[in-house]
A and B are shown apart, each in its own frame.
Chain A
Amino acid sequence: MLRKLTISAIKYRWKDYLILFSGLIISSAIFYLFETLATNNVYLHANGQLVSIIGYIFSFGAVLLMLITFIYINYANSFLLSMRQHDYGLFMILGARRKKIGQMIWLETVFVGIVSTVLGIIVGIGLSALMQSFVLKLFSVTAKHYAPFWGKAVIWTLFMYLGLFLLAAFFNTFVMTRKSVLKLLHSSQEISRHRIVWWKQIIQVLCGLGLLGTGYWFIMHPLVLKQQTIPTGLFTLSFGTFFLFNAVITAGVAFLRKTKNAKKGLRTFTLGQLEFRIHDYTKILTGVAMLFALALGAITTGIGFNNIIEKTATAGSAYTLGLVGPTAQQKKLVTALRPQKQVTYLFKSDQQNVYFIKQQFEQEKFEIPVTKKSTFTSVYRGQKVAELQKDPTDLMTAMGAKFATRHPHFISERAFAKKEGSTSSLFLFRTEGLTSKQAVLDKLVKSEAAKTTEMSASSQAAFRGSYDAFKVVKPLYSGLQFMGIFLGIAFLAMLASCLMFKLLSGAFADKRRYELLRKLGVRPQLLRNAIKKEVGLLFLLPALVGVVHVLFGLNLFKGLLGNPYYGIWIPFTFFAALYFGYYVGLVLLYQKIVLSEEN
């Protein structure tokens, strides 16, 4: 009988269950996704050679994700509880024994856990395969040793989720079998209103500010705590954010409600809604703020690695490529690259020597890069001939392996004319944005290699300009780049599912309220605006805090990226557009659920 009732309850509330399951599946899928990176030692080792802190970042990222997962499951569980409380109250009235009910609750929670975890892992495997090809396509980055199906990740996800669900099951059984029948029956009408005690609020604000300040200070001075900086930062910022939200938002809403302005239009209602759920809100807002910071931070750093590849390359040479005796075909390709600078030097050569015309180097000075340490950007400086004579390495490597070992001589035009042998030319050019010009540059390299038949295998290692350096550096960083973008998207997805879950779990309860408002004669437009505001706050607050976290957090990558703030408007804009789009989508979805017209 009870089983029948349960099944019919599930049928009746299938929409709620759909939300519950989809939220949990997404969350476990993302956890799996993260673990495919975090537990893949071979991959981490291969890509961690450059940066020893990667391992640390991952282990603490995992801890943080576990915390967020914990909040998430806790939240999902209270959603499940609130869905079932009324039914269980009814069962008890019908005469079901508490022990029997306890068993049912236990089984139901564990069942929900197993189904969503297994499905989540399957979705996770699909997602990570998709992600791999997506990052490959978009950033032409391949991650060696990365495998979408990773046994350790499966085990960890199972372990973590089933463990948490087991805990939740015991918790639910405990709670449900202790509550009185009446409480269970009227659970949906209960409100969580907490009286504000001012001194407690002030202490919380101080705690929050203190923690945030401490966290920011340690991030700005990473040498103080060294490797402990990241866990310390995550800890202090998470709790600081929570305290601040908790104190400021509750007090803010309570204060706003008292003002005259709050009595206008639907504001009373919106504020009432907020106060009604404030405790759920502060937890979820903290989670979202942290996820926002992590996602944005990861994407920014990921794209930062892309910058660093180019910067490292341009710090190596002032010219992108050197071409000896460029063909018309090659010149055409170079023009297509829209170079900032191009120069041609004539030369004659014999077995040991290369002869240049001194005057040409006085008119068009040969440039070398000067790299500023703080920003890791390079400017170019023309060299005097005397300097060049002292250290001609840059010039000679630009000529390619064939000439690299010969001795350069800078002679007068007259002396040059007297030298034997045919006149040849060295063509040098510089262009920016190597990543996007790879295809054309590769063509140039190929056609240049085809010219010298006697080229040996070792000659390929010689840098004929910054592009060769680019080719060497890129694979070193691409693993990190992959990691950054991958994690960024994973955190973003987690954030999206958190917000969606939070919103939709309230939507069905809100439906009744909005229905009543409509019957009272509230204009449809006003209702839609109220929803926009309510959802907007949920999006805006964590975004603001998250951006500040990221701006400080990026400082940690100074050692790795030189200037981590370089060009951050690109990932920020990209992120903002995505976030805003998601906001609009959720508002529409929410309006659709809550304001569905009567017949």
Chain B
Amino acid sequence: MKAKTIIKVERLRKVYGKQTEKKYEALKAISFEVAQGEFVGIMGASGSGKTTLLNMLATFDHPTSGTVKINDTEVSRLKGNQLADFRAKEIGFIFQDFNLLENLTAAENIGLALSLQNVKPKTIENSVVKIAATLGISDLLEKYPSELSGGQKQRVACARALVHDPTILFGDEPTGALDSKSARELLELMYRVNEQQKTSILMVTHDAFSASFCKRIIFIKDGQVEHELVKQVQASRTQFYQEILDILGTFEK
């Protein structure tokens, strides 16, 4: 049985630079799909267009041409309230940094997305407590971001991105600002969420270690898909890690 397609990217192009300026084509007609429940990594050298791609998938930026469909909705057509509601319901996002509002406690940060949809306070509280328990951050709920470590902040951000049960979770180098131990914890967390809750995840990363937690990697070079690597069911994470390193090695030649 084939899983449902939740993201469908077709001939997506992005050209930077206004009429008068020098143009730069950051994405050149990219096409790919992501199925329900997948954990996809996007890799590529610096400047290859990863962030650009993710911003368009997450509705933060408009493509020059081509389409992005999430759950059969063409996202570039959305505007105003529709766009806002789509973001609030369908999408979860973890940025590299500045994920949390410093003036709200961790619990308030996590619950914000729900309170925006006018969910009852009691329900919000329950959801927050539940997701916090799942991600192991129950004892951090009453703290303010400035009282949290970088790794803890990212875990809270992860909880915030997942609390409303989005169709897909996006991450742009979510481990980028973390040390290796915290990074590992966050990645294991994402892996678990993907396994247990079947949440689809699409994550941009440039290091092989982070990528090895994914189940499929899309390599991008100069705005085009260069290669795809699927993790074999029986392969261990270390084996997959080695495979990724090999591919990266061939790129550098």
Determine the distance from Cα of A222 to Cα of B73 in the docked complex, in whole angstroms.
73
Report whether A521 and B84 are in contact in the complex, using a CB–CB cutoff of 8 Å. yes
Report whether B115 and A519 are in contact in the complex, using a CB–CB cutoff of 8 Å. no
Report whether B84 and A598 are in contact in the complex, using a CB–CB cutoff of 8 Å. no
B111 CB-CB contact with A under 8 Å: yes
| Chain A residues numbered 540-582 whose CB sits less than 8 Å from any CB in chain B | none
Report whether A272 and B84 are in contact in the complex, using a CB–CB cutoff of 8 Å. no
**Contact among B61, B116, B118 with A522 in the assembled complex (CB-CB below 8 Å):** B116
Report whether B115 and A521 are in contact in the complex, using a CB–CB cutoff of 8 Å. no
Report whether A263 and B121 are in contact in the complex, using a CB–CB cutoff of 8 Å. yes
B113 CB-CB contact with A under 8 Å: yes
B46 CB-CB contact with A under 8 Å: no
A533 CB-CB contact with B under 8 Å: no
- Interchain nearest-CB distance for A595 vs B (Å): 12
| Chain A residues numbered 13-48 whose CB sits less than 8 Å from any CB in chain B | none
- Interchain nearest-CB distance for B105 vs A (Å): 8
Report whether B98 and A264 are in contact in the complex, using a CB–CB cutoff of 8 Å. no
Q: Please judge, given known A-B contacts A263-B111, A526-B116, whether A276 and B81 are in contact too, CB under 8 Å.
A: no
**Chain B minimum-CB-distance residue to A186:** B146
A513 / chain B contacts, CB cutoff of 8 Å: 101, 103
| Chain B residues numbered 47-99 whose CB sits less than 8 Å from any CB in chain A | 58, 60-62, 80-81, 84-89, 91, 93, 98-99
**Chain A minimum-CB-distance residue to B62:** A599
| Chain A residues numbered 221-267 whose CB sits less than 8 Å from any CB in chain B | 260, 263-267
- Interchain nearest-CB distance for A507 vs B (Å): 15
Determine the distance from Cα of A238 to Cα of B206 in the docked complex, in whole angstroms.
58
**Chain B minimum-CB-distance residue to A263:** B121
A269 / chain B contacts, CB cutoff of 8 Å: 101, 103-104, 112
Report whether B84 and A268 are in contact in the complex, using a CB–CB cutoff of 8 Å. no
B58 / chain A contacts, CB cutoff of 8 Å: 519
Contact with A along B114-144 (1 / 0, CB 8 A): 0110100100100000000000000000001
B173 CB-CB contact with A under 8 Å: no
Report whether A268 and B102 are in contact in the complex, using a CB–CB cutoff of 8 Å. no
- Interchain nearest-CB distance for B66 vs A (Å): 17
Report whether B113 and A521 are in contact in the complex, using a CB–CB cutoff of 8 Å. yes
B38 CB-CB contact with A under 8 Å: no
- Interchain nearest-CB distance for B199 vs A (Å): 17
| Chain B residues numbered 14-71 whose CB sits less than 8 Å from any CB in chain A | 58, 60-62
Contact segment of A187-195, A199-207, A341-349, A377-385:
A187-195
Q: How many CB-defined contacts (below 8 Å) exist between A and B?
A: 86
**Chain B minimum-CB-distance residue to A272:** B103
Determine the distance from Cα of A337 to Cα of B104 in the docked complex, in whole angstroms.
66
Report whether B146 and A189 are in contact in the complex, using a CB–CB cutoff of 8 Å. yes
A516 / chain B contacts, CB cutoff of 8 Å: 98-99, 101
Interface of A is mostly: helix
- Interchain nearest-CB distance for A596 vs B (Å): 14
Report whether B89 and A521 are in contact in the complex, using a CB–CB cutoff of 8 Å. yes
Q: Please judge, given known A-B contacts A268-B108, A512-B98, A524-B81, whether A263 and B91 are in contact too, CB under 8 Å.
A: no
Report whether A268 and B115 are in contact in the complex, using a CB–CB cutoff of 8 Å. yes
- Interchain nearest-CB distance for B125 vs A (Å): 8
Determine the distance from Cα of A260 to Cα of B111 in the docked complex, in whole angstroms.
13
- Interchain nearest-CB distance for B87 vs A (Å): 3
Report whether B146 and A272 are in contact in the complex, using a CB–CB cutoff of 8 Å. no
- Interchain nearest-CB distance for B208 vs A (Å): 28
A276 / chain B contacts, CB cutoff of 8 Å: 102-103
A275 CB-CB contact with B under 8 Å: yes
**Chain B minimum-CB-distance residue to A193:** B144
Which of B98, B99, B103, B108 has the most chain A CB within a 10 Å cutoff?
Answer: B103
**Contact among A191, A521, A526 with B146 in the assembled complex (CB-CB below 8 Å):** A191
Report whether B103 and A191 are in contact in the complex, using a CB–CB cutoff of 8 Å. yes
Report whether A268 and B104 are in contact in the complex, using a CB–CB cutoff of 8 Å. yes
| Chain A residues numbered 310-345 whose CB sits less than 8 Å from any CB in chain B | none
Determine the distance from Cα of A265 to Cα of B117 in the docked complex, in whole angstroms.
7
A4 CB-CB contact with B under 8 Å: no
A interface bracket (residues with beta carbon within 8 Å of B)? 20 to 34
- Interchain nearest-CB distance for A493 vs B (Å): 31
Determine the distance from Cα of A513 to Cα of B61 in the docked complex, in whole angstroms.
18
A94 CB-CB contact with B under 8 Å: no
A266 / chain B contacts, CB cutoff of 8 Å: 115-116
B116 / chain A contacts, CB cutoff of 8 Å: 265-266, 520-523, 526
Which of B60, B61, B116 has the most chain A CB within a 10 Å cutoff?
Answer: B116
Contact with B along A271-314 (1 / 0, CB 8 A): 01101100000000000000000000000000000000000000
Contact with A along B192-227 (1 / 0, CB 8 A): 000000000000000000000000000000000000
Report whether B61 and A520 are in contact in the complex, using a CB–CB cutoff of 8 Å. no
Contact with B along A150-190 (1 / 0, CB 8 A): 00000000000000000000000000000000000000011
Q: Please judge, given known A-B contacts A524-B81, A598-B60, whether A272 and B108 are in contact too, CB under 8 Å.
A: yes
Report whether B121 and A260 are in contact in the complex, using a CB–CB cutoff of 8 Å. yes
A525 CB-CB contact with B under 8 Å: yes
**Chain A minimum-CB-distance residue to B83:** A521
A407 CB-CB contact with B under 8 Å: no
A365 CB-CB contact with B under 8 Å: no
**Contact among B62, B81, B112, B118 with A268 in the assembled complex (CB-CB below 8 Å):** B112
A409 CB-CB contact with B under 8 Å: no
Determine the distance from Cα of A263 to Cα of B116 in the docked complex, in whole angstroms.
9
A518 CB-CB contact with B under 8 Å: yes
**Chain B minimum-CB-distance residue to A266:** B116
B108 / chain A contacts, CB cutoff of 8 Å: 268, 272
Determine the distance from Cα of A267 to Cα of B116 in the docked complex, in whole angstroms.
9
**Chain B minimum-CB-distance residue to A267:** B115
Report whether A522 and B104 are in contact in the complex, using a CB–CB cutoff of 8 Å. no
**Contact among A275, A519, A522 with B103 in the assembled complex (CB-CB below 8 Å):** A275
Report whether A263 and B61 are in contact in the complex, using a CB–CB cutoff of 8 Å. no
**Contact among B93, B99, B102, B113 with A191 in the assembled complex (CB-CB below 8 Å):** B102
Determine the distance from Cα of A512 to Cα of B95 in the docked complex, in whole angstroms.
13
Q: Please judge, given known A-B contacts A268-B111, A521-B86, whether A189 and B102 are in contact too, CB under 8 Å.
A: yes
Question: Residues of A at under 8 Å CB distance from B?
Answer: 189-191, 193, 260, 263-269, 272-273, 275-276, 512-513, 516-526, 598-599
The 3 closest A-B pairs by CB, nearest first: A521-B88, A521-B87, A276-B103
Question: Residues of B at under 8 Å CB distance from A?
Answer: 58, 60-62, 80-81, 84-89, 91, 93, 98-99, 101-104, 108, 111-113, 115-116, 118, 121, 124, 144-146
24 of the cross-chain contacts (CB-CB < 8 Å) are A189-B145, A189-B146, A260-B121, A263-B121, A263-B124, A264-B115, A266-B115, A266-B116, A267-B115, A268-B104, A268-B115, A269-B103, A269-B112, A516-B98, A519-B58, A519-B60, A520-B113, A521-B86, A521-B91, A523-B81, A523-B84, A524-B80, A524-B81, A599-B62
